[in-house]
Structure 1
Amino acid sequence: MNHPLLDVRDITVRYGPVTAVDQLSFALDAGETLALNGPSGCGKSSTALAVLQLRRPDGGQVRFEGRELTALTERELRPLRPRMQPVFQDPYGSLSPRHRVRDAVAEPLRIRGAWDRSDGPARVAELLDRVGLDPAYGDRRPHELSGGQCQRAGIARALACEPRLLVLDEPVSALDASVRAGVLNLLDDLQDELGLGYLFICHDRAVVRHFADRVVEMRNGRGVHT
């Protein structure tokens, strides 16, 4: 039986008396982009945190590659986390200002035990090249890059984990229009090349119409249209 890459069923996320996500359901296949669209405060980012299990939902299920995540302990989740990676809105805030770009991209390889001194630097250079950055930029720190370059470095860092799912939380909203188009085109190319599934969180309907295969409109924590 073939399972969706991601299958979210009736998830609820509460912060005290406030219900941020209210019994939301959707599914996403590999190679597909599903957008969550809606105004600020409608529950999009809380949904992203619940999918990534960075904020455990208060109800419902999150199935990734057929496996139910909400019942797993943190130890059981650990080997699955590299396969579902976030890309955040703030390209500078997602990378440590103290580390050079090459070290930020190499960090997931080190954590996974996949770093080798002999071929590790070449792997980092390959990842930077794949996202359209000159590998020489690896010697720079985030503040020495433009916003678009820094977001590309963040994508390279996510790809180092060899993910199947990217959770893209407003990944281009902080970028100029011309830079935004370049990053979206890069994400399109990577999806075609690697078969990635994208959960794309965005408030801009024009961007969503251009980029997403399907859309879930959110209002007050609920999906009102798919």
Structure 2
Amino acid sequence: MTTPAHLTIPPPGPLLSVRDLVVRHGPRTAVDRVSFDIAPGETLGLVGPSGCGKSSTAMAVLQLRRPDAGEVWFDGQELTSLDERRLRPLRPAMQPVFQDPYGSLSPRHRIREAIAEPLRVQGRWDRVSGPARVAELLEQVGLDPSHGDRRPHELSGGQCQRAGVARALASDPKLLVLDEPVSALDPSLRAGVLNLLAELQERLGLGYLFICHDMAVVGHFCDRVAEMRDGRILRTTASPAVPAPRLPPPR
């Protein structure tokens, strides 16, 4: 008896396995049969010009936009076949970090409240361990716990992006989908955030889908690079093993 094609299990090993992903926006095909794998602890860079389908791919991987066709296997489960009730317990393990560090955090909330929100939503908050966990997450991303009392506009761009990473880490994820996470930062701050992401990956074994339009950044940071154009991946290559410049964290 053969297994139906839509239930074909990919080879064991990848944390994330995307197969023949299709995303349409009206009559336009934004993502056209895209396939790739990401192993635990690996960074795949997805690079290409604006409008090539990178962000649409990210949204479909996260199931924030359901794809029109294809499969997304995460940690051994195929996501596109799950309804929202069955998908909800899996969402914490896949977390986004967006391009705009200020727009991704509510301007009305203090940073500690933004980081605490995933803990509350997931039922992991209590009045004793919760604040300690928020302080630990702030320190983990290179911020002083006192930064938790500030609002986003009171932080620099680099500090705000670090707070966004801390919020993502609050869910104890296995995969971060990083959509242009440093493109809005000054070059002096960019290296600090990239260094932080590299250190977190080494310490926590995270997989990264790193979306960027800058080939130089991707070549320094990623293990492999998938070049995308007009909704398709043209080629996937190993990136040069060139260490990114290390600068001190932003003040």
TM-score interval (norm. to shorter): over 0.9
- Which residue in 2 is equivalent to 1:93? 103
- Equivalent runs, 1:67-78 vs 2, <5 Å: 67-78=77-88
How far residue 119 of structure 1 moved from its aligned partner, in angstroms, is 1.5
User: Of 219, 225, 232, which residue of structure 2 is paired with 1:209?
Assistant: 219
Please state if 1:111 is matched with 2:129: no
Q: What does the per-residue CA deviation read over 1:41-73, in whole Å, with 9 as the maximum and x for residues that have no partner? A: 000000000000000000100000111000000
Give every structure 1 segment of 4 or more consecutive aligned residues whose post-TM-superposition deviation is greater than 3 Å.
none
Q: Quote the Cα distance in structure 1 between the aligned partners of 2:92 and 2:56.
A: 20
TM-score, structure 1 normalization: 0.99
- SS where residue 150 of structure 1 aligns? helix
Please state if 1:185 is matched with 2:215: no
- Equivalent runs, 1:19-168 vs 2, <5 Å: 19-168=29-178
Q: What does the per-residue CA deviation read over 1:133-153, in whole Å, with 9 as the maximum and x for residues that have no partner? A: 010000000000000000000
% identity of equivalent residues: 75
Q: Which amino acid aligns with 1:211?
A: F
Q: Quote the Cα distance in structure 1 between the aligned partners of 2:78 and 2:131.
A: 36
How far residue 123 of structure 1 moved from its aligned partner, in angstroms, is 0.6
Calculate the aligned-residue CA RMSD, in Å: 0.7
Q: Quote the Cα distance in structure 2 between the aligned partners of 1:29 and 1:193.
A: 15
Return the index of the structure with the highest Cα Rg.
2
User: Of 140, 157, 175, which residue of structure 1 is paired with 2:185?
Assistant: 175
Q: Which has the higher relative contact order, 1 or 2, with Cα contacts under 8 A spaced 6 or more apart?
A: 1
How far residue 3 of structure 1 moved from its aligned partner, in angstroms, is 3.0
- SS where residue 173 of structure 2 aligns? coil
- SS where residue 185 of structure 1 aligns? helix
Q: Which amino acid aligns with 1:138?
A: G
- SS where residue 89 of structure 2 aligns? coil
More displaced 10-residue stretch of structure 1: 182-191 or 117-126: 117-126
- Structure 1: segments with no counterpart, 5+ residues: none
TM-score, structure 2 normalization: 0.89
Q: Quote the Cα distance in structure 2 between the aligned partners of 1:171 and 1:106.
A: 21
- The alignment covers a number of residue pairs equal to 226
Q: Quote the Cα distance in structure 2 between the aligned partners of 1:178 and 1:67.
A: 40
- Structure 2: segments with no counterpart, 5+ residues: 1-10, 237-251
